[in-house]
Amino acid sequence: MPIIDPIDLDSANDLGLTQTLESFEDLGEKDAIFPRLLGLVPGYAEAMWNAMAEAHREGGVDQKLKEIMRIQLARTAHDPYFAGLRSKKAIDAGLSEERIEAGCADFENDPQFTPAEKWALRYSYLMYRQPDQVDAAFYDEGKKHFTEAQIVELGGMIAIHYGMQVFMRTVQVGPDD
């Protein structure tokens, strides 16, 4: 069980979080622990999950690529909860576990990834490990593959998901909770 108890589903629905809970089902987690935990601060639950979902599902970059990045980040954060979730939409679109694993391993030398995908995976990999390497030259390389809007989309997605993953790590929500 998490160190902090989430609110129950009935309370979440009573607080008007029904749509948030339904939206969270895309990650295949019926218990919706994350939004119910944030339900302790109702305004946060809706706003934070909407921002995370928007960053992950919308925009101009392939959601399958962002799903690999999200899982890679959760592993960087040592968060088993978000690392164990999978976007139904991304899986339905053809993302396989093998490709997720490849994106979390030696993606630099993996021919299944395009140069653009490798740059994006490098972006999420380095952001919280070696941010000094994410410099002007790094962004110049990214601009060969992505528009500035797409780069900001990726950076924002990385930032908000990693931040919540670090928090979830500390409350120790396991894959079986």
Partner 1 sequence: MDNFRESPEFAESEKMALEFSELMQFSPESIDETFYERLRVHYTDAEIVELGVFIGFNVGYHTFFRTLDFYPMFLPDGRLVSQDESRRIYGNRPMSHRSVSNSPALDGTSGEAGLPG
Distance CA 44, CA 66 (A): 23
What is the distance of C-alpha 43 from the center of its chain? 20
125 binds partner 1 (CB under 8 A): yes
Q: Which of 10, 94, 111, 131 binds partner 1 (CB under 8 A)?
A: 131
List the one residue from 38, 74, 85, 90 that touches partner 1 (CB under 8 A): 38
Distance CA 11, CA 103 (A): 38
> Of 23-31, 60-68, 91-99, 166-174, which part binds partner 1 (CB under 8 A)?
166-174
- Rounded Cα gap, residues 54 and 76, in angstroms: 22
Counting contacts by CB under 8 A, is residue 41 touching partner 1? yes
Burial (CB count within 10 angstroms: exposed 0-12, middle 13-18, buried 19+), residue 57? middle
Residues of this chain that bind partner 1 (CB under 8 A): 3-5, 37-38, 40-41, 44, 48, 76-78, 105-109, 122, 125-132, 134-136, 138-139, 155-156, 158-167, 169-172
